[in-house]
Amino acid sequence: MGDWAAMQNLLVTVPASSSNLGPGFDCLGLCLDLMLEVTLVGPAAGKYHEFVGLEKEAHSWPTAPKTPPGTVQQKDSRANSFLVAFDRALEQFGVPLAPFSFAVTSEIPLGRGLGSSGAAVAAGLVLAAEVAGRPHGTSLRRDLVSLGAEIEGHPDNSTASLYGGCTLALTTESGWNVLQPPVAESIGIALAWGSTPLATSEARLALPEIVNFPEAADQPRRLAFLLEGLRSGDGDLLTLGGVDHLHEAFRLPLIPGGEEAQEAGRRAGAWSVTLSGAGSGVLALTPLERAGEVALAMGAVLEERDGPALHRVARVCRQGAALSRP
């Protein structure tokens, strides 16, 4: 274990993420500048982990269970993703589990497809690695990507939050491999979401077991155009690359006003409008100067259909999870 005196009030800052962006289903993540901050305050007063503060969007986090560290199951949908990841990583690194006290502030809403659980997982993994005294570097990041994918069931959000920028993840017999495709500074990002959250587990139940071969064959073509559009900032390529055949059509009926909000975003000048992750939020790629107008148009529709709604302009966050000390 690392130097405990240096662990107290250790802060990890982790960005949000969107995933898929249309055709990048379960492999592509994009870091956004909505932030999660978790402070490891010190040892807990009792036998269990505790949160001494849950501020802003973190007030909706699942509470810390009244059970010893390491006893919560990863598959429990009611579990706190941060605590699951923190304990799982300590176990992986061979560190005895002990109860800690944490303070959390988050700008990332839950159930809106903005990677709230992926950011929480990344925060837990990074803090645990520091507690364990693991040296920083490529090997550690690969280990954390693997643990994040194991906990989340997919690599896109937690990997983006760990690395920053845009990420693509692929697993092989030798482990996880991560690419970081470039994203042009000229691309604006507009977000909007209504009052109804959508859990990823519920959204996955809407997916078909079988897709048509022509649509499956078209999916990687669309992803290629999306990646080149992200690199170049070419709006025509982003429009061509914003088409999905695997998940969007099946999830949109679960989101009040979702399809209409996407149409409003396109009318306002967006190049591409997709679900953000599994939803319920929508994300538009736009000319930088149109992002505010597009966000407002999408938010107005969601306000009418599923209010109160929120909208905002976001930017790509090019740095992943970062540690700091007081």
Domains assigned to the chain: 4-181+317-324 (3.30.230.10), 187-314 (3.30.70.890)
Q: Is 50 helix (H, G, I), strand (E, B) or coil?
A: strand
- Over residues 126-135, the mean pLDDT reads 95
Residue 300: per-residue pLDDT: 98
- Over residues 173-193, the mean pLDDT reads 96
Closest CA to 302 of 267, 270, 255: 255
Q: Predicted confidence band at 207 (pLDDT cuts at 50, 70, 90)? A: very high
- Over residues 265-272, the mean pLDDT reads 98
Amino acid at 234: D
Whether 7 has a pLDDT exceeding 90, the answer reads no
Question: Tokens representing 158?
Answer: 């937690």
Question: Tokens representing 177?
Answer: 């491999």
Is 118 in contact with 155 (CB distance < 8 Å)?
no
Whether 188 has a pLDDT exceeding 90, the answer reads yes
Q: Predicted confidence band at 2 (pLDDT cuts at 50, 70, 90)? A: low
Q: What percent of the chain has pLDDT over 90?
A: 91
- Over residues 283-296, the mean pLDDT reads 98
Whether 71 has a pLDDT exceeding 90, the answer reads no
Whether 30 has a pLDDT exceeding 60, the answer reads yes
Whether 73 has a pLDDT exceeding 70, the answer reads no
Q: Predicted confidence band at 70 (pLDDT cuts at 50, 70, 90)? A: confident
Per DSSP, 198 falls in state: -
Whether 8 has a pLDDT exceeding 90, the answer reads no
Residue 80: per-residue pLDDT: 95
- Over residues 239-250, the mean pLDDT reads 98
Whether 18 has a pLDDT exceeding 70, the answer reads yes
Q: Predicted confidence band at 187 (pLDDT cuts at 50, 70, 90)? A: very high
**Average pLDDT taken over every residue of the chain:** 95
Residue 6: per-residue pLDDT: 64
Closest CA to 32 of 325, 324, 323, 312: 312
Residue 3: per-residue pLDDT: 58
- Over residues 14-31, the mean pLDDT reads 97
For 135-145, what is each residue's pLDDT tens digit? 999 899 999 99
Is the model's pTM score more than 0.85? yes
- Over residues 180-201, the mean pLDDT reads 97
Whether 39 has a pLDDT exceeding 70, the answer reads yes
Cis peptide bond upstream of 174, omega within 30: no
Alpha carbons 200 and 205: distance in angstroms, whole number = 9
